[in-house]
């Protein structure tokens, strides 16, 4: 039998998610059958559940990423090199990844490098790919990597720590911003050489300027939105670019047109959803390879906040959005 996580209407994930039991799936043409060992609960997964419009005729499967072991390869499946029965793999994007068994299209199945634990492999795609996507966004700015630097908010998040690690590996200058002194101290321990500023104090923007030490802030990454975007735009140098990649704040972004006009600022949204739609097949392959490399070189930054069983879904989704949490919440489905 197969136990999998579904919902039939939008709403609070703790209220609408259910585990249903069905016969084990059989791989069809072009598909790979995987027995999952772990999968992450990402904020984006929860946002999709909250935002689901109306009521669904059929149960909607949850989750997009998982890791596991290949049990069978269907006819005509053009698997990536190394994907074989008995091998460890991860999948992204697979709607319905929160399941004991999944039949995934061969194109979204990638091998797990030797030396990566299941705890890392379970979230080695979404967050590292986001870091790769963001790095590309930053590098489109001509000054970034020369005299220009990056400021990123919510820098203690799972994505933010990978962005910092990637910047360090490539000698790209970054100033981190978090919302608490506690978060700043935690991040300073991990990255002693990277400046970190806490917004707990009113003069935080000046602290960022001080950390920039006269260098222009060319790019800012922000997964929060809301009112503090004005402060970030204010920090940007003329021609600067703000990349918004999340919506952690409840309130809308409010910016006077003059702020954008006089400094010729760019305000841009970026999501993996658009990356999937817009990136060429070659770029997707190369970005997945870069994501795996991030998992290998920065595996210490793939903290697991906690691991839950399928019968503890409500606890898992509550923990996934808990303030002060460090790392990703995983589910072990067996």
Ligand X SMILES: NC(=O)c1ccc[n+]([C@@H]2O[C@H](COP(=O)([O-])OP(=O)(O)OC[C@H]3O[C@@H](n4cnc5c(N)ncnc54)[C@H](OP(=O)(O)O)[C@@H]3O)[C@@H](O)[C@H]2O)c1
Interaction of residue 143 with ligand X, rule CB under 6 A: no
The two tokens of residue 219 are 């790019």
Interaction of residue 44 with ligand X, rule CB under 6 A: yes
User: Considering only residues 157, 164, 176, 198, which one is a binding residue for ligand X as defined by CB under 6 A?
Assistant: 157
* Residues 310-329 close enough to bind ligand X by CB under 6 A: 323-325
Interaction of residue 244 with ligand X, rule CB under 6 A: no
Which residue, 145 or 156, is less far from ligand X as judged by CB? Answer: 156
Interaction of residue 245 with ligand X, rule CB under 6 A: yes
- Min dist. Cβ of residue 31 to ligand X (A): 25
Q: Helix or strand or coil: residue 322?
A: coil
Interaction of residue 224 with ligand X, rule CB under 6 A: yes
C-alpha distances (whole Å) from 124 to each of 175, 231, 321 are 24, 32, 19
Do residues 122 and 333 make contact, with C-beta atoms less than 8 angstroms apart?
A: no
Say which residues have a Cβ less than 8 Å from residue 52's Cβ, sequence separation at least 6. 7, 9, 10, 11, 60
* Residues 83-142 close enough to bind ligand X by CB under 6 A: 126-127, 130
**Which of 243, 213, 239, 218 lies closest to 229 in space, CA to CA?**
243
Interaction of residue 49 with ligand X, rule CB under 6 A: no
Return d(Cα 92, Cα 87) in angstroms, integer. 16
- Min dist. Cβ of residue 220 to ligand X (A): 14
Interaction of residue 231 with ligand X, rule CB under 6 A: no
Return d(Cα 6, Cα 151) in angstroms, integer. 38
Q: Which residues bind ligand X (CB under 6 A)?
A: 42-44, 126-127, 130, 154, 156-159, 179-180, 183, 223-224, 245-246, 248-249, 270-272, 323-325
């Amino acid at each position: 039998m197969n136990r999998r996580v579904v919902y039939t209407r939008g709403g609070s994930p703790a209220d609408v998610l259910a585990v249903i039991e069905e016969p084990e799936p059989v791989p069809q043409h072009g598909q790979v059958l995987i027995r999952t060992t772990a999968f992450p609960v990402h904020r984006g997964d929860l946002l999709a559940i909250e935002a689901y419009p109306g009521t669904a005729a059929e149960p909607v499967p949850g989750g997009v990423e998982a890791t596991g072991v290949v049990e069978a390869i269907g006819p005509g499946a053009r698997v990536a090199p190394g994907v074989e029965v008995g091998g460890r793999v991860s999948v992204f994007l697979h709607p319905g990844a929160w399941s004991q068994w999944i039949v995934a299209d061969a194109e979204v199945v990638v091998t797990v490098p030797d030396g990566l634990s299941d705890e890392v492999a379970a979230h080695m795609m979404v967050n590292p790919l986001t870091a790769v996507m963001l790095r590309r966004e930053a590098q489109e700015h001509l000054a970034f990597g020369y005299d220009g630097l990056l400021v990123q908010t919510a820098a203690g998040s799972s994505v933010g720590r990978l962005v910092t690690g990637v910047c360090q590996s490539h000698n790209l200058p970054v100033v981190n911003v978090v919302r608490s002194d506690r978060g700043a101290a935690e991040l300073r321990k991990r990255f002693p050489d990277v400046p970190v500023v806490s917004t707990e104090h009113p003069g935080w923007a000046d602290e960022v300027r001080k950390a920039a030490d006269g260098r222009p802030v060319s790019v800012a990454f922000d997964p929060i939105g809301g009112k503090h975007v004005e402060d970030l735009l204010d920090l940007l140098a003329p021609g600067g670019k703000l990349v918004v990649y999340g919506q952690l704040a409840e309130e809308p972004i409010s910016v006077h047109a003059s702020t954008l006009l006089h400094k010729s600022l760019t305000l841009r949204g970026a999501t993996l959803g658009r990356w999937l739609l817009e990136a060429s097949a070659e770029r997707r392959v190369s970005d997945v390879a870069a994501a795996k490399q991030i998992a290998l070189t920065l595996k210490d930054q793939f903290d697991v906040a906690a691991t839950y069983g399928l019968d503890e879904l409500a606890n898992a989704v509550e923990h996934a959005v808990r303030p002060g949490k460090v790392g990703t919440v995983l589910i072990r489905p067996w």
